[in-house]
C-alpha cells in the first residue's frame, strides 16, 4: 500500500460513500474540487473516464505530477463556468468543496451536467449551531481515536472556515434544487447529499452518447412499457437502446 493510499482525514474517511454510489454502466465521472486527485483516481477503478476540476493551480499541478493516466484528466478552472456539455456525466462527486462556492448555483450546475439516471454525491461541511454541540463532542472523541490509529493528513489545498451555511440551510437548499435528494448527517463534521437525476436511464444515456431523450416521437404515444422485475423495460426513442425505469415512465 502506497503512502497516498494510507492517508487519512475527515474527507478521505467518506470516499467509500462516493465510490459505492457509482451507478452501474457509468462511463464518465466528474469530481468537482478534485484537489490532488486522490478521489478521481479511485473513481477511475470503476469508471472508464474521469475528469477532475479545481480552481487551485497548485492542487491541479500536484494531481498531474502523480503520473499520466489515460482514464483521468485534470482541469484547472471554475466549475461554474467551464464549458462541459450538458448531461455529460453519469456520476458527479463533490467532497469538501461545495462551501467554497455559491451552493445553490453549484447544485443547479451539477444537475445540468448530470445525465438522466446519473448520480450526484456531495460530501460537505456545514456550520454547527448550539443544538449540534452534543454531536460535535462525540465527534471529537471519535476523531481522536482515528488519529491515534491512522494519523492525519493535512491537505495543502485552500480551506474556507467556518462554512457559511448551517446544516438546516443546506438541507432546505438541497430540497429546493434537487427534489428527492437524500440528506444525511455524518459524525466527523460532514454531511452527504445523494441525488439520482430523474429520467430515462440506459447504458448510452449514462455515457451521454444517446441524444434521444424520452419523448413522444412525432407526437404519438410511446408503446406501453413492459414490467421487468422491480422496474419497466423501455426503449429509448433516440437510439432504441433498452433501459430499466424504476416506475412506469410518464412520457
Q: pLDDT tens digit string along 24-37?
A: 999 999 999 999 99
| Per-state percent for the chain, helix, strand, coil, to nearest 5 | 30, 25, 45
Please state, in angstroms and rounded to a whole number, the distance separating the CA atoms of residues 161 and 139: 18
Q: Which fold has domain 3-128+153-196?
A: Rossmann fold (3.40.50)
Provide the pLDDT for residue 5. 60
Give the side-chain half-sphere CA count within 13 A for 88.
11
Collapsed DSSP state (helix, strand, coil) of residue 93: strand
Q: Would you list the domain boundaries of the chain?
A: 3-128+153-196, 210-245
Provide the pLDDT for residue 209. 40
Count the neighbouring beta carbons within 10 Å of the beta carbon of residue 155. 16
Residues 53, 32 contacting (CB under 8 angstroms): yes
Provide the pLDDT for residue 158. 83
For 16-52, b/e burial (b = at least 16 CB within 10 A) is ebbbebbbebbbbbbbbbbbbbbbbbbbbeebebbbb
Give a three-class secondary structure readout of 16-84. Answer: HHHHHCCCCCCCEEEEECCCCCHHHHHHCCCCCEEEEEECCHHHHHHHHHCCCCCCEEEEECCCCCCCC
Please state, in angstroms and rounded to a whole number, the distance separating the CA atoms of residues 228 and 66: 45
What's phi and psi for 95, nearest 5 deg?
Answer: -115, 120
Quote the mean pLDDT of the chain.
Answer: 82
Q: Is 208 exposed, middle or buried (0-12, 13-18, 19+ CB in 10 A)?
A: buried
* Greater pLDDT, 245 or 115: 115
Reported as a single tens digit per residue, the pLDDT across 163-204 is: 999 999 999 999 999 999 999 999 999 999 999 999 854 444
DSSP class of residue 98 equals G
Amino acid at each position: 500500500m502506497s503512502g497516498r493510499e494510507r492517508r487519512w482525514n475527515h474527507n478521505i474517511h467518506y470516499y467509500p460513500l462516493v465510490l459505492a454510489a457509482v451507478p452501474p454502466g457509468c462511463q464518465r465521472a466528474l469530481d468537482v474540487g478534485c484537489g490532488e486527485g486522490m478521489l478521481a483516481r479511485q473513481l477511475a477503478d470503476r469508471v472508464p473516464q474521469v475528469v477532475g476540476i479545481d480552481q487551485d493551480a497548485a492542487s491541479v499541478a500536484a494531481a498531474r505530477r502523480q503520473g499520466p493516466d489515460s482514464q483521468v484528466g485534470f482541469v484547472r478552472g471554475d466549475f461554474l463556468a467551464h464549458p462541459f456539455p450538458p448531461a455529460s456525466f453519469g456520476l458527479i462527486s463533490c467532497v469538501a468543496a461545495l462551501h467554497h462556492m455559491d451552493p445553490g448555483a453549484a447544485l443547479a450546475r451539477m444537475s445540468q451536467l448530470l445525465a438522466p439516471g446519473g448520480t450526484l454525491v456531495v460530501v460537505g461541511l456545514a456550520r454547527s449551531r448550539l443544538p449540534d454541540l452534543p454531536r460535535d463532542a462525540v465527534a471529537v472523541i471519535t476523531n481522536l481515536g482515528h488519529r491515534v490509529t491512522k494519523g492525519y493528513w493535512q491537505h495543502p489545498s485552500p480551506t474556507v472556515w467556518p462554512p457559511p451555511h448551517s446544516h438546516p440551510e443546506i438541507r432546505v437548499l438541497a430540497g429546493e434544487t434537487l427534489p428527492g435528494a437524500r440528506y444525511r448527517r455524518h459524525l466527523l463534521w460532514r454531511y452527504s447529499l445523494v441525488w439520482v437525476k430523474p429520467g430515462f436511464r440506459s447504458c448510452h444515456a449514462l455515457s451521454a452518447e444517446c441524444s434521444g431523450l424520452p419523448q413522444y416521437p412525432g407526437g404519438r404515444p410511446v408503446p406501453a412499457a413492459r414490467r421487468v422485475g422491480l422496474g419497466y423495460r423501455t426503449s429509448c426513442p433516440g437510439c432504441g437502446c433498452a433501459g430499466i425505469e424504476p416506475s412506469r415512465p410518464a412520457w
